[in-house]
């Protein structure tokens, strides 16, 4: 998956994406049909079913899709991930998120904007077993319930009066010690 192809159905989406990424642009959605085994960054309208045919065809040709929308919603993320999309987020998100999404998808994983991951984690039903806590440091044990509540790194940092970067480091240590991939995997196993 070397090629990164981008398409936006409206100029505003194109201008934003062009300002943060250096990728090959396609200005006609029909031209997307000629690409195979590429990473496609698509900014599509918020109409769930009108996008389905385009996405299914692109995925069927071995493309990995990062779908972006101007008004992203968790329900839409779940729908599109069910179709086989590899990433979902906000069309106007910051460059850091674009880079993380591309890197994650290239690694063969699924990427969601952190806001959606936090919502998914917050919706999980808690489990009573907390034996895994004994493997963690005191600070990591303070962070665990906040992660399991679906709080973002910034929110946890404010609560514990530490930096978001420190929260991210502790979370990475927690995931490593417990042999999980990421926040969602952690929540699925331990909440």
Answer whether 0.85 is exceeded by the pTM: no
CATH of 4-110, one of 3.40.50.300, 1.10.1610.10, 3.40.50.2300, 3.20.20.10: 3.40.50.2300
- d(CA 94, CA 139) in angstroms, rounded, equals 30
Indicate the average pLDDT of the chain: 85
Pairing of strands 64-69, 111-112: unpaired
The pLDDT tens digits of the residues spanning 31-81 come to 888 899 999 999 888 887 788 888 999 999 999 999 999 889 988 998 999
DSSP string, 162-175: S-HHHHHHHHHHHH
> Residue 86 pLDDT more than 80?
yes
The pLDDT tens digits of the residues spanning 140-160 come to 999 999 998 888 899 999 999
- Written in H, E and C, the secondary structure of 54-79 is HHHHHHHCCCEEEEEECCCCHHHHHH
Q: What is residue 11's predicted lDDT score, i.e. its pLDDT?
A: 66
**Domain 119-190 is of which CATH architecture?**
Orthogonal Bundle (1.10)
């Amino acid at each position: 998956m070397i090629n990164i192809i981008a398409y936006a159905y409206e100029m505003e989406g194109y201008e934003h994406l062009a300002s943060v990424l250096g990728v090959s642009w396609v200005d006609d959605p029909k031209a997307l049909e000629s690409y195979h085994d590429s990473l496609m960054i698509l900014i599509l309208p918020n109409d769930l079913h009108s996008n389905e045919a385009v996405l299914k065809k692109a995925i069927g040709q071995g493309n990995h899709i990062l779908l972006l929308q101007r008004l992203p919603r968790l329900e839409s993320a779940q729908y599109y991930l069910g179709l086989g999309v590899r990433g979902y987020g906000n069309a106007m998100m910051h460059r850091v998120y674009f880079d993380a999404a591309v890197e994650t998808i290239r690694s063969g994983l699924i990427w969601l904007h952190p806001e959606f991951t936090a919502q998914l984690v917050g919706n999980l039903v808690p489990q009573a077993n907390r034996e895994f806590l004994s493997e963690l440091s005191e600070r990591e044990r303070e962070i665990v319930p906040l992660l399991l509540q679906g709080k973002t790194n910034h929110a946890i940092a404010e609560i514990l009066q530490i930096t978001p970067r420190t929260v991210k480091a502790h979370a990475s240590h927690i995931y490593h010690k417990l042999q999980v991939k990421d926040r969602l995997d952690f929540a699925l196993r331990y909440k």
